[in-house]
Structures are given as structure tokens and as C-alpha cells.
Amino acid sequence: MSEMLKRSLILVLLVLVCLAVNVSAAELVLPPIEDTYVRDGGDAGNNFGTADVLQVKWESDREGMTRITFLKFDISSVTAVERATLRLFMQLNDVLEMKQLGLYDVTGVEWSEKDLTWETAPRTGGTHIRDVFTDNFANVWLDINLTDFVKKHVESGTKVISIRIEHKSDHWGGAIFFTSKEGADAAKHPQLVITH
């Protein structure tokens, strides 16, 4: 076999490998179509749909300190899921060293970021998706594997999914602020990253 033919074959193989990698690692990045949080106490009737942060906290000793976040994604364009990752940018992560967050599937419950409040939010119920833990580092991304949850909804033909995120660590120093889709830096907005 000539040297020229060998080089041509190697080049063709390299191109095929690159194409295969690109096909297998295709990503779809979905922004939330709605996101907000609700707060108890004196803010129970207030709406935070235009806030530039999404807050989570649980403090049972003081009314008005607990906050729960809600996100909604349109997955109608998703046809296959190899991996699904929810990415949230933690711009504030208070002093409690280890925090536990619970994620719940509230798909099918009607809510709008324009009018959701503590009094009207689906704060209970829903199917538990998973718990995640985070330390107290800020200005970093929190990546949450939601593959099974998203795949289930894609396979059943669901068009829009909803997630509730609540704090499960009762502490005065446990607040976490995520950048919302209204945040000034679009590069830090929430993302649902689908690998297919």
C-alpha cells in the first residue's frame, strides 16, 4: 500500500471519528420558560416573578424566612435523551457548610411566574425526583442530573415540565440565590442541558 493511500485512509478515519463524536455528543440547551420563587410570612401574598434571583431557604424558627423555587421548561423539541442536566448558577450560598435540596416533579400543576405566591404555589405534593447537596461556595454552577425524570416525560409525550426546589436543611445560614432568567448576565441563566 502506498504512503499516499495510507495517509488518505487515516484522514478518512479521523473525519469519521470526529463525525461520530459530534453526533453522539449533540447538546440541546433549553432556557426556562418560567421561573420564580415564593416566600412565607409577610411575603406570602407577594409575587417574585420578575426577580433576578431564585431563592431557596428553610428556617422553621422565624416566619418569613422560608423560600421555594419553581422552574418550567418546554421539552416539546426533545425527541431523545442520553443525559439531562439542570444547571443553576449559585450567586449566593450562605454560611451553612452542607445544604440539602429536594427536587419535586410538579408537572401538570398550573402556575404562572406572573402571579405565583406562597398562598397559591404547589408547595406540597408532586413526585420526589432526587435530593442534591451543596457546600457553601458561591459563584459556581450547581449541576443536577435529571436524566431519568426528563427521559420519562419525553417518552410519555409531555410538552412542558415543572420542577419545585425546596431546602431540606433547617438553618438560619442556609440561603441559596440562583440567577434567574431575568438576571442581567444571560450566561448565568438556568439551563436544562439535553445530550442526545
8 Å CB contact between 41 and 64: yes
Residue 20 confidence (pLDDT): 46
**In-domain check, residue 1:** no
**In-domain check, residue 173:** yes
**In-domain check, residue 45:** yes
**In-domain check, residue 43:** yes
**In-domain check, residue 16:** no
Residue 13 confidence (pLDDT): 54
| Nearby residues of 82 by Cβ (< 8 Å), 6 or more positions away | 24, 147, 195, 196
Distance CA 149, CA 129 (A): 7
**In-domain check, residue 12:** no
pLDDT in tens, 115-152: 999 999 999 999 999 999 999 999 999 999 999 999 99
Give, for all 196 residues of the chain, the pLDDT tens digit: 566 545 555 555 555 544 444 445 699 999 999 999 999 999 999 999 999 999 999 999 999 999 999 999 999 999 999 999 999 999 999 999 999 999 999 999 999 999 999 999 999 999 999 999 999 999 999 999 999 999 999 999 999 999 999 999 999 999 999 999 999 999 999 999 999 9
Q: What is the CATH number of the domain that holds 58?
A: 2.60.120
**In-domain check, residue 65:** yes
Q: Could you give the number of structural domains in the chain?
A: 1
8 Å CB contact between 163 and 34: no
Domain that holds residue 79: 27-195
